[in-house]
Structure 1
């Protein structure tokens, strides 16, 4: 996953911090911070987005990642496709009240959402509870195809958790 690029320009005394929900993303250039905050607001109107000017020494003391985190370019943003299903012990699919497949934009600083991979998936056994199938990726067709495989494995895992090394009391 790409990280902040390092500038060879002289160190500026001001860091422009885009505060995006819980993320603090620092920039050398105000225009980058403002562009990211504007796009964040358009993508997530229910979450806050502001740009603040910080003294570089304040960022070095308080900012996550120190000066190495200060960006001199726009961060990568992609559309990421998601799929999710939850299965009870025995393999019965549960209604979780959310769509089984959806998409949304994700920035590279959102490590829990961003991916450069066409598809990745896994199943997870919640000890003593359900088995979930999770898929995400940048290729919608690959995500849809992998979702069928993930659901099949989740059903099998919910029916016979011991064959997957899950050690919980069902």
Structure 2
């Protein structure tokens, strides 16, 4: 048997039932409004019909951490735009949530958004709140520079 923890829309397979139960219990604490349950699948069914097949079956409970985020948006010229969304927030994330999980203290990037607005987005995420806050100041400075000097970052055809 494969013990599949259904966590929201994701299915995470486990070799041992107690690991699936623990994942469901912890997920339910984090996301009480999202469905969470354990399903029993026979191994053949999981290997042939489950996402990822046999290689995704876990023999331990996945890592979970709180990931801190910060984001800002800058207009061409460097003026900060009001995004209407929170500038900083935190969420629990599990290692199987590859789009949200990180084990780094902080990581940041800037990106020019496509389209006529040419805004520059600054993003930071990490597991250390102080490191994320320090990196946020640094990424915002780079985003302002990128908004003011698009050619320096390869954001224009003239570069």
Q: TM (normalized to structure 2)?
A: 0.91
- Of residues 123, 127, 136 in structure 2, which corresponds to 1:134? 123
The Cα of 1:46 is off from its aligned counterpart by 2.9
Shift >4 Å, 4+ stretches: none
Equivalent residue, structure 2, for 1:31: 18
Deviations 1:31-59, CA, capped at 9 Å, x for gaps: 21121112112212232222111111110
Equivalent residue, structure 1, for 2:142: 153
- Of residues 17, 35, 55 in structure 1, which corresponds to 2:4? 17
Considering only aligned residues, what root-mean-square deviation do their CA atoms show, in Å? 1.6
Deviations 1:125-146, CA, capped at 9 Å, x for gaps: 1123311111011111111000
Q: TM (normalized to structure 1)?
A: 0.85
Aligned length: 156
Structure 2: give runs of 5+ residues left out of the alignment: none
Structure 1: give runs of 5+ residues left out of the alignment: 1-13
The Cα of 1:121 is off from its aligned counterpart by 0.4
**Aligned counterparts of 1:47 and 1:85: Cα–Cα separation in 2:** 29
Equivalent residue, structure 1, for 2:46: 59
Equivalent residue, structure 2, for 1:48: 35
Report SS of the residue matched to 2:68: strand
Report if the CA contact (8 A) 1:127-1:167 is conserved: no
**Aligned counterparts of 2:34 and 2:82: Cα–Cα separation in 1:** 27
